Amino acid sequence: MPPFDRDSIVAGPGQTRDQPRLSCSPTARRATSPPDIAVILTGDGLTWRSAQPCDAPERILYWFGWADNTAEEPSMPRNRPSAATPLTVGRCRLGLCCMFVGIADVRFRVTTASALNRLPSAAAWHRICTLAEHNAITLRRALEHCARLGIRAFRVLSNLLPLATHEQYQYHLGDLPASVREHLAAAGRFAQAQGIRLSFHPDQFVLLNSPRAQVVQAAILDLVVHTELADLLGADVITIHAGGVYGDKTQALRRLARVIERLPDQVRQRLALENDDHLYTVADLLPLCRSLQVPLVYDVHHHRCHPDELSLEQATELAYATWNREPLFHISSPRGGWRSRDPSQHADYIRPSDFPGCWLKLPLTVEVEAKAKEKAVLRLARHFSNMYQRSTSKPCTWLHEAPTMPRTVFIDVGNKPKGYDAWLHKKTMAPPDHRSPRR
């Protein structure tokens, strides 16, 4: 095992000495004999000396060789692959919802009607076009990060086109400058080339079963705008909730069915209904989904919060059967645990025990609804990958040949003060000496 000396303790960006980064220095490396080692990333991920923190947090195992030549210390890895092997849990591909929390260059921008009202009309429209173009470019950048991290499903932000359905500023995709549509089309082509499935999930104000005609018309307009974007991007799912109950669930479902039947074909081809955590269960929606041939997005967290007579396994089987393409399901965990006052609140990460075992053998897209976003996706994949590795001598299914690593490697050990459990010997896979490194 490589010795650690005073030079080996390096405080990385945003780190304190209470959260050390372990570095195998050139001096320590020359004194070692093992040909290579395995590294487990336990915190924010790899960083490089004089470089930004790596934006691929929580990647699990990187195998790298010991270099003899230590004269040069590159700041970034060479021959870095453009795309990682897809992250999966069993046969399920994992999806990211809308945004990143650990990648600074992926920031979508929005505005409000009150902010635009302070501008002249020409300036307000210019502002909308500028924001739309920025978001289109950012979407492509987000998809590039998804491809590099191995995330093969992405839920596109619903307000990608700011205020597109606002009664005062509403517009269609064709009203925007051609450059915006070109950037969006390029993002769609990239997603298709990388095998990244795209979807939309309009907000809770899309109420197709409202008794108010004005609300229903606004909801239809919202779905039409989403469909225009979906056509350009190649997204195949637009998920909505059933809406309100309005004192009579049966009548509300009948209104929903009548409105769905009148929707344009382009909208209906992508529309999917999701069970919610307060009003509509899986059992409530299944008859409507079957009769209208609308697929059901099964949210297992919502089902646990608002159960019906169906078991998790039964709901999975029945929801799966409503799809004529790869089904899309949702997973999340309660922030305060299942015994908390409000278990419907989403946690930062997914508890592995909350992932249904019956999903593992099904070809699904599972969107991870967690506050930690991409970190939650990667941590969930890490857990099941580690389980697989402990149960078999074969390597994890999604491990791939790592890029050539820099000669100084920093391992973020997070809140683990000893830090040595971030290193494992390749042959024994057992933790090395747990003595605290010298400071």
Q: DSSP of 23-57, one letter per residue?
A: E--HHHHHT---SEEEEE--SS--B-TTSPBPS-T
Q: What is the DSSP string of 208-267?
A: TT-S-HHHHHHHHHHHHHHHHHHHHHT--EEEEE----TT-HHHHHHHHHHHHHHS-HHH
Q: How far, rounded to the nearest angstrom, does the alpha carbon of residue 73 sit from its chain's CA centroid?
A: 33
Q: What is the DSSP string of 385-425?
A: HHHHHHH-SSPPTT--PPPBPPSS-EEE-TT-SS-GGGEE-
Domain boundaries, the chain: 1-81+403-439, 88-391
- Distance CA(159)–CA(163), nearest Å, equals 7
- How confident is the model at residue 385, as a pLDDT? 83
What is the pLDDT tens value at each position of the chain, 439 positions in all?
A: 333 333 333 333 344 434 433 333 333 333 333 333 333 333 333 333 333 344 433 333 232 222 222 233 233 333 333 567 899 999 999 999 999 999 999 999 999 999 999 999 999 999 999 999 999 999 999 999 999 999 999 999 999 999 999 989 999 999 999 999 999 999 999 999 999 999 999 988 899 999 999 999 999 999 999 999 999 999 999 999 999 999 999 999 999 999 999 999 999 999 999 999 999 999 999 999 999 999 999 999 999 999 999 999 999 999 999 999 999 999 999 999 998 889 999 999 999 999 999 999 999 999 999 999 999 999 999 998 877 655 544 443 333 333 333 333 333 334 333 433 443 333 233 333 333 334 3
- Distance CA(112)–CA(116), nearest Å, equals 7
Name residue 438's amino acid: R
- Distance CA(105)–CA(145), nearest Å, equals 10
- How confident is the model at residue 85, as a pLDDT? 85
Residue with tokens 């494992």: 424
Instruction: Decide if 377 contacts 96 (C-beta within 8 A).
Output: yes
- Distance CA(337)–CA(224), nearest Å, equals 38
- Distance CA(381)–CA(59), nearest Å, equals 9
Q: How far, rounded to the nearest angstrom, does the alpha carbon of residue 113 sit from its chain's CA centroid?
A: 29
Give me the CATH topology for the region 88-391.
TIM Barrel (3.20.20)
- Residue 87 DSSP label: P
- How confident is the model at residue 373, as a pLDDT? 96
- How confident is the model at residue 391, as a pLDDT? 53
* β-strand partners of 367: 95, 330
Residue with tokens 């932000």: 157
With b for 16 or more beta-carbon neighbours within 10 A and e for fewer, the 404-437 pattern comes to ebbbbbbbbbeeeeebbebbbeeeeeeebeeeeb
- Distance CA(218)–CA(226), nearest Å, equals 12
Exposed / middle / buried, residue 369 (Cβ in 10 Å: 0-12, 13-18, 19+): buried
Name residue 73's amino acid: E
